[in-house]
A and B are shown apart, each in its own frame.
Chain A
């Protein structure tokens, strides 16, 4: 089975974010970047499917040069090769335009299965996978917690709300968006890191794929959210702060 995993590089989770002078994106200098967490679970699922059923795992990633570090990490974990769509300014592409770029690149591989995370930790629009499926003419399912091969197709477990789940079948090829927690993530081994150095990374640009930048929706500005509540900060040493909180819990919330 040939599996493509679309993954995104995002600022590390604990990053302190500052709005860039343009007011339209964050200041990316001084940030460290990592694989978007749900995409890491998608990669792990692909690697496990390959171990069970054979085949090939291809990483697909659009991003500037720095994204190469996340691609290397995916190769070190066991992906076979990668396609890096190297673009410095992805801000000029809205979700639809970027999904076009990814779909074009994915189509050249004729994959049996395309996996990606259910959403990104930065933009969080949760759409790239579904839009890719539509553009590629593939059936899809989202927020997936289990993937099984069933005959010539798939049987997948969708997470619904409030603790409900549902199985659904669909033919291959297909696209799935993977929920965090579907599996246990592996670490790259030293051997894996060594091997990754000789694995193929194909570099392309969006222009090579014939997809021009386009935005039907543009960012007017980004800013820190206003506080909904006036948080009373209890300061002092840990002990002093704890004592102040106990006062509040006892005399205001009345739960002690």
Chain B
């Protein structure tokens, strides 16, 4: 066992953006450990990075993703390449197969990591309220998936790598999932990414009948109204207004998070906003880790007061 293998993901339009972050993480780890780093790439997505090797994983049965197909192919590649560390981007697809792959090797995937320091792999617990450092047993192969944004794609060391075709022996009967083509539910009527100001509402709003409280604020600020996932799950606002890993990614001038605790699935969708305002009754809510301005208090008192003050300022 030696070296780092980065398993990249190919999306509908080439490499998934988190793939490059993961390659950057692999390069960093390679420098720290003084070990070689290689990458596995499915399909024909181009990758130009300074690596010791790129494995082009190719097989007719891998043209559409299946958990069974990807697991079998990567199991064979890991046996051949024998890496000490296998890194993945923590995408929905990786969540679907990487735990299965790690199980084949008797290991536990350390999922959604935000950093690695001196052999300790750091990840979040309790939806971001706490962090934890995990220690793999010495001498065992590490499988870890990397949270979006934890490493930066612009830190990627560009360059070239010798390429090798890897064609695993796959039996069609192995692939039990029969995927149909991906689709989008409906054309998105709301493009939140174009908004300068977004007022976003979370569980703190308590019930559907309270939604007008934040609608008023959005109106006063000339903002788009958005929400965290649970609000859309409950049908209180349409799914197309959801911000986060399963919704839209936004980076407005101002993002006002009202009653949103700031679970990671939400933060990844908005932490690029220029100014973040958090209104929350819990001073320990993870949203305050990314907020520029915070008001700790009951949103049902703060938001109406804010609406008045905004109207006053607008004259």
- A residues at B contact (CB < 8 Å): 11, 13-14, 16-17, 19, 26, 94-96, 99, 118, 121-127, 130-131, 133-135, 139-143, 158-171, 180-181, 215-225, 227-229, 231-235, 238-239, 241-243, 245-246, 248-250, 252-256
Given contacts A124-B112, A171-B176, A220-B133, A253 and B289 within 8 Å (CB-CB): no
- CB-based contact B292/A232 at 8 Å: yes
Smallest Cβ distance from A214 to chain B, in angstroms?
A: 10
A216 touches B185 (CB 8 A): no
- Measured in the bound complex, the distance between the Cα atoms of B66 and A96 in whole Å is 22
Q: Which B residues lie at the A interface, using CB under 8 A?
A: 66-68, 91-93, 95-97, 99-100, 102-104, 106-112, 120, 123-137, 140, 176-185, 188, 196-197, 203, 221, 229-230, 232-234, 239-240, 245-249, 253-254, 274-278, 282, 284, 286, 288-298, 301-302, 305-306, 308-310, 312-314
Residues of B within 8 A of A143 (CB): 92, 95-96
Instruction: Decide: A165 and B182 in contact? CB cutoff 8 A.
Output: yes
A231 CB → nearest B CB, Å: 5
- CB <8 Å contact, A233 and B67: no
Please, which residues of chain A bring their CB within 8 A of the CB of B286?
Answer: 225
A180 CB contacts on chain B under 8 angstroms: 229-230, 233
Neighbouring B residues of A221 by C-beta, 8 Å: 132-133
Known: A218-B135, A246-B310. A166 touches B295 (CB 8 A): no
Nearest first, the 10 A-B pairs at minimum CB distance are: A181-B233, A139-B176, A127-B99, A242-B305, A130-B99, A238-B301, A242-B306, A169-B178, A220-B133, A167-B180
Check A229 against B100 for contact (C-beta < 8 Å).
no
- In the complex, are the beta carbons of A231 and B92 less than 8 A apart? no
Q: Which residues of B contact A249 (CB under 8 A)?
A: 221, 254, 277, 310
Contacts of A142 in B (CB 8 A): 67, 92, 95-96
Contacts A170-B178, A180-B233, A239-B305 given; does A232 touch B294 at CB 8 Å: yes
Given contacts A131-B100, A181-B233, A221-B133, 12 further A-B contacts (CB under 8 A): A130-B67, A134-B103, A160-B92, A162-B248, A164-B183, A165-B185, A168-B178, A215-B137, A227-B289, A239-B308, A243-B309, A253-B254
Residue on B nearest A219 in the bound complex, by CB: B132
In the complex the two chains form, is A126's CB within 8 Å of B229's CB?
Answer: no
**Across the interface, do A218 and B111 meet the contact criterion of CB distance under 8 Å?**
no
Residues of A within 8 A of B274 (CB): 253
B274 to chain A, nearest CB (A): 7
Cβ 8 A contact of A130, one of B96, B110, B184, B294: B96
The answer to whether A233 and B296 touch across the interface, beta carbons within 8 angstroms, is: yes
Partner of B135, one of A11, A126, A163, A220: A220
Interface contact A231-B297, CB-CB below 8 Å: no
Say how far A18's CB is from chain B's closest CB, in angstroms. Answer: 10
Given A95-B108, A165-B183, A222-B132, residue A231 in contact with residue B197 (CB < 8 A): no
The answer to whether A233 and B294 have CB atoms under 8 Å apart is: yes
Contacts of B313 in A (CB 8 A): 246, 250, 256
Q: Which residues of A contact B293 (CB under 8 A)?
A: 231-234, 245, 248
Is B111 in contact with A94, judged by CB distance below 8 angstroms?
no
Would you give 26 A-B contacts (Cβ < 8 Å), ordered by A?
A16-B284, A96-B102, A124-B112, A124-B127, A127-B109, A131-B99, A139-B67, A142-B92, A160-B182, A166-B180, A167-B180, A168-B179, A180-B229, A216-B106, A216-B108, A216-B140, A218-B137, A225-B286, A229-B291, A231-B289, A231-B291, A232-B292, A234-B295, A239-B305, A245-B293, A254-B253
